[in-house]
């Protein structure tokens, strides 16, 4: 048999193309296909039944899915805003430090060095209603007399998860905003002071516009992160109590593996990805606008 002759570039790229196809393109196509089937892990033959958009219709009309979707957006909004404010504050404090700035910068990154699963366990322990540090501290200080059911009450549980998220990822904002502060020229700030600005006005009109692009970069990174939040929630509440902390990806995971309804789960996942893409596009637009505003040359 005579093989067709391939050009040298094609030949050299072939291994990479094969690997990429095997690990990315094929699974992607397969998952997309399976979202159009009633594929169940327990009934492998169901992969061959094509049901069109029925999975998508049932997901989009599913109350549980939309609750998880909405909750994810709420979590994203609260966590990102909290992280931005705290990160901004942290970055400005570290920027003011006259000595030990390197050490502080390193310390600031510690939470990022922990695996999210460990962060989940740590906060699960902290917020434990019986033996947890938080309740013990509150009771010892006399703030409250009874134990607060941190992870048992639906709203408190979501709050606890947000605290864990914020703790582990505020440093993403802090680091990026600090980078902005360090890169920022000092003269406009001085000009603003001479021009009659109070410290707050200086921040509002001069410093903040400079930092906005950096904040938006952090926002983009973190929105992708939070939109696929899974591990911390899985460990702390596993979507409970009574699905009150169910997020998009915990729902997807549960549908796929506990309920074994892989086809349905894949349909959910594709819709969920749309959310991430939406946020990314939104923040990138904001970023581009902010960059243009300050006439950035990067």
Partner 1 sequence: MAPVTLKKLVKSYGNVDVVHGIDLEVKDREFIALVGPSGCGKSTTLRMIAGLEDISGGVVEIGGRPVNDLPPRARNISMVFQSYALYPHMTVRENMGFSLKIGKVAQSEIDTRVNEAAAILDLDKYMDRRPSQLSGGQRQRVAMGRAIVRKPDVFLFDEPLSNLDAKLRTQVRTEIKRLHARVQATMIYVTHDQVEAMTLSDRIVIMRDGHIEQVGTPEEVFKRPATRFVAGFIGSPPMNLNEATIADGKLVFAGGQTLPLPIEFRSRVSAGDRVIFGLRPDDMYPTGHGLNSGEATDVHEMELPVSITEPLGNETLLFVTMAEREWVSRMLNPRPMDAGEVVRFSFDLSQAHLFSPETGKTLRS
Residues that bind partner 1 (CB under 8 A): 185, 187-188, 190-198, 201, 205-206, 209-210, 293-297
Name the minimum Å distance from CB 188 to partner 1. 5
| 206 versus 252: smaller Cβ distance to partner 1 | 206
Q: Residue 40 has what DSSP assignment?
A: B
Phi, psi of 243 (to 5 degrees): 60, 25
Q: 3-class SS at 43? A: strand
| Beta carbon nearer to partner 1, 212 or 236 | 212
Query: Cβ 290 to partner 1, closest distance in Å?
Result: 9
Nearer CB in complex with partner 1: 3/194 = 194
CA angle 147, 150, 156 (to 5 degrees): 130
- What are the residue ranges of helices labelled H in the chain? 8-20, 26-34, 54-60, 63-96, 101-108, 116-126, 133-140, 154-183, 187-194, 199-202, 208-227, 231-236, 248-253, 262-293
Smaller CB distance to partner 1: residue 45 or 297? 297
CB of residue 32 to partner 1, shortest distance in Å? 43
Backbone angles phi, psi at 241, to 5 degrees: -75, 140
Q: In whole angstroms, what separates CA 243 from the centre of its chain?
A: 20
Residue closer to partner 1 by CB (options 195, 259) is: 195
Residue 190 Cβ vs partner 1, minimum distance, rounded to whole Å: 5
Distance between the two ends of the chain, CA-based, in angstroms?
A: 55
User: Based on CB atoms, which residue is closest to partner 1, 141 or 194?
Assistant: 194
Shortest spacing between CB 198 and partner 1, in angstroms: 7
User: What's the rounded Cα separation, in Å, for the pair 267 and 35?
Assistant: 5
Q: Is 117 within 8 Å of 164 (Cβ atoms)?
A: no
> Based on CB atoms, which residue is closest to partner 1, 110 or 205?
205
As measured in angstroms, the least distance from the Cβ of 216 to partner 1 is 14
- Report the nearest approach of partner 1 to the CB of residue 98 (Å): 12
Q: Where do we find the tokens 């997901």?
A: 59
Tell me how far CA of residue 104 lies from CA of 57, 83, 96, 110, 298, in angstroms. Answer: 51, 18, 11, 10, 27
């Amino acid at each position: 048999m005579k093989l067709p002759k391939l050009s040298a570039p094609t030949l050299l790229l072939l291994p990479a193309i094969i690997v990429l196809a095997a690990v990315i393109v094929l699974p992607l196509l397969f998952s997309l296909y399976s979202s159009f089937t009633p594929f169940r892990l327990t009934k492998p033959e169901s992969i061959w039944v094509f049901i069109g958009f029925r999975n998508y219709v049932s997901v989009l009309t599913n109350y549980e899915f939309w609750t998880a979707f909405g909750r994810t957006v709420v979590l994203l909004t609260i966590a990102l805003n909290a992280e931005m404010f705290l990160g901004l504050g942290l970055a400005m404090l570290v920027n003011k430090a006259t000595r030990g700035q390197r050490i502080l910068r390193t310390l600031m990154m510690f939470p990022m060095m922990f695996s999210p699963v460990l962060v989940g366990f740590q906060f699960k322990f902290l917020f434990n209603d019986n033996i947890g540090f938080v309740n013990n501290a509150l009771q010892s200080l006399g703030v409250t007399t009874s134990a607060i059911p941190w992870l048992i009450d639906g709203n408190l549980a979501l709050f606890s998860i947000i605290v864990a998220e914020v703790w582990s990822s505020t440093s993403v904002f802090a680091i990026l905003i600090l980078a902005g502060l360090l890169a920022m020229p000092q003269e406009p700030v001085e000009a603003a002071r001479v021009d009659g600005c109070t410290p707050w006005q200086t921040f509002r009109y001069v410093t903040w516009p400079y930092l906005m692009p950096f904040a938006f970069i952090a926002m983009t990174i973190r929105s992708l992160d939070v939109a696929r939040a899974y591990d911390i929630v899985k460990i702390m509440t596993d979507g409970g109590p009574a699905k009150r902390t169910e997020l998009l990806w915990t729902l997807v995971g549960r549908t796929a593996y506990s309920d074994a309804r892989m086809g349905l789960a894949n349909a959910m996942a594709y819709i969920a990805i749309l959310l991430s893409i939406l946020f990314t596009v939104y923040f990138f637009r904001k970023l581009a606008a902010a960059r243009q505003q300050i006439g950035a040359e990067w």
